[in-house]
Every structure is written in C-alpha cells, then in structure tokens.
C-alpha cells in the first residue's frame, strides 16, 4: 500500500511506518494462535481460511456502505468457523488438525460466496474505517498505525481480562489437563468450543482490518498466515518469555511488530530473494518449535562425550 512518506524521500521512515502498521494488524492472528495453540494446546488449521473469511466479509460490507458494521460481522463469521472446527473435534471425534483442515477447505467456497463468487474484491472509492479516521485529522500520516494499534491493544487487554475470569481459567485448565477438568465437573467440550470461537473471531478481525486497510480481498490472501502467526508468536516469546497471560499478549504484539520490521528490512535490502521469504519463515518456525527437542538431543550427546572421555581417562 503506497504511503506519502515513500514518495517524500524517507525510505527508512516509510519502512518503519509500514512495519508498525502491518505488525499491529497481523498481531491479532498471533493473538488467536496464542489462545488456540498455547492456551488450549490445539493446532488449529482454520486460520488461513478464517483470515480470508474476515477479509471477504469486511470488504463486501464496506463496499455496501457499512465499514463499521463490517468489523463485528467479520468477527462473528470467524467465530462461526471456529464453532464448526470445534464441533468436528468435540462431537464427531475428528482429530484437531484434520478438523481444522476440513473447515479450512470448506471455507474456500464460503469465501468465494462472500465475495460474490469472485476471486478478489476491491474498494476503489468507498470509505473505510481508516479513511474515516484519517478525516478526523488525528495522528497525521500515522493515523493507520494509531487505529491499528488501538484495535490490537484493546483486543489484547480484553483477552487478558477474559482469561482471568472463571470461564477463562476453565479454558486455560482445559489446555493444561482435560482429564482433570472433566473430573472437576467442567465440560471440556464447552471450553474448547468457546476458546476456538474466540480465537477465530480474532483471526476474522485481523482479516477485516487488513482488508479495509489495503482496500482489497483476495481468495488466496490467507496462504501461509498460520506460519506467519506462529513466527510472530515464537519471536515474541523468545524476547519476552512465557508465563502470565499479560506477558503472552505483549509477546504476540511485540513479536508481530519485530517480524514485520525484519520482513520490511529484508525486502528493502534484498538480502534474501522475495520468493524465498516464506521458506525462510517456515524454517525458522520449525526450528523454534523443535528447539526443546534439539536442546535435549544436544545435552544427551554432550553427556555421552563426557562419559566416553571419562572411560578413556580411567584406562
């Protein structure tokens, strides 16, 4: 998305502005994965299709003249996608990964329907929440960052507050030990359903905000979003650490911003070919997730070398 600063001869400032804006917008996906992957311990593969669903619903309603209504509508659509995944998993006994894949596959047709059976939809001269916010004069050229950051921070605060309620604590307990939760007379089916609905509502919100910011929705716009979200989550947790829910919310926002800064710098400096960026991201995410196993393997090899050295010394 072209910005005035790019044409004004401030490429560094333009890179920073773009990275902050996209970092806040995509942090909502990382926040959703934090809820499903970290809190509920479920690998939810609905993310890619749900992101496009939120984007499609938002752009379609905005084109009809309802930019503000488009935001809760996209969240509701995302929650419905999460409900389908949860139903497949909890009621029909479909494994969590397969449930997400099945829902994600079905969402392709749903997304086409939401965009009027077109592969893409654009907003040429339609008002969006961003153009309306810019008209207020708040923030100047940084209006998009202020609005995106405000939405993301608000959702982060609400998520932390929710996870510290009785229902939120039940969801956290479900992710830790489902058998214990069931023995405590808490229905894990209900907590999993609520958790996945909330996670996919956040993903739909991210798609809605991105769609209105970029004034377009594309049927393939969600490809690789789950990997990018995991990368943001892991980068943030590496810096901030894991622990309380508040720390987790800060980690996903910070991680998303840092990822977008790295992404923007790589694009600007051309250190890595653009076509290889997703491969590099996938490798980083894979290594980060496998890091505990790699550390255990390295420690085991170190102990074996020490034991061999000790036996040789004894001889």
pLDDT tens digits along 119-154: 988 888 889 999 999 998 888 889 999 999 999 999
Which ranges of 215-314 does DSSP label H, i.e. alpha helix? Answer: 225-240, 245-269, 277-289, 291-314
User: Both tokens of residue 80?
Assistant: 């419905």
pLDDT > 90 fraction of the chain, expressed in percent and rounded? 53
Alpha-carbon distance of 273 to 282, in angstroms, equals 15
Closest to 252 measured CA to CA, from 294, 203, 299: 203
Alpha-carbon distance of 192 to 199, in angstroms, equals 10
pLDDT at 87: 96
312 or 258: which leads in pLDDT: 258
- Contacting residues for 210 by C-beta, under 8 A, at least 6 apart: 25, 26, 51, 55, 221
Question: Which tens digit of pLDDT belongs to each residue from 168-177?
Answer: 999 999 988 8
Alpha-carbon distance of 271 to 145, in angstroms, equals 26
| Average pLDDT rounded to a whole number, residues 183-211 | 93
């Amino acid at each position: 998305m072209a910005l005035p600063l790019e044409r004004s001869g401030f490429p560094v400032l333009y890179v920073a502005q773009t990275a902050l804006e996209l970092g806040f917008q995509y942090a909502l996906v990382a926040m959703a994965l934090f809820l499903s992957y970290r809190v509920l311990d479920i690998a939810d593969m609905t993310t890619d299709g749900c992101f496009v669903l939120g984007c499609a619903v938002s752009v379609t309603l905005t084109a009809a003249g309802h930019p503000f209504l488009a935001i809760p509508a996209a969240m509701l659509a995302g929650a419905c996608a999460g409900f389908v995944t949860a139903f497949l998993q909890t009621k029909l006994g479909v494994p969590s990964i397969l449930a997400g894949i099945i829902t994600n596959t079905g969402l392709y047709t749903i997304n086409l329907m939401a965009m009027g059976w077109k592969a893409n939809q654009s907003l040429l001269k339609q008002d969006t929440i961003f153009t309306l916010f810019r008209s207020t004069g708040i923030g100047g050229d940084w209006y998009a960052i202020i609005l995106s950051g405000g939405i993301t921070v608000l959702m982060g605060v609400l998520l932390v507050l929710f996870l510290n309620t009785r229902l939120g604590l039940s969801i956290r307990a479900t992710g830790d030990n489902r058998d214990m939760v069931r023995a405590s007379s808490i229905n894990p089916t209900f907590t999993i359903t609520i958790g996945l609905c909330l996670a996919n509502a956040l993903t739909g919100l991210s798609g809605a905000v991105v769609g209105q910011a970029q004034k377009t929705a594309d049927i393939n716009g969600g490809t690789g979003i789950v990997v990018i979200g995991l990368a943001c989550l892991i980068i943030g947790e590496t810096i901030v650490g894991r622990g309380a829910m508040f720390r987790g919310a800060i980690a996903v926002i910070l991680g998303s911003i840092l990822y977008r800064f790295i992404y923007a710098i790589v694009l600007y400096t051309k250190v890595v070919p653009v076509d290889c960026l997703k491969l590099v991201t996938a490798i980083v995410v894979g290594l980060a997730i496998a890091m505990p196993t790699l550390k255990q393997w390295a420690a085991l090899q170190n102990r074996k070398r020490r034991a061999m050295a000790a036996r040789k010394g004894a001889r």
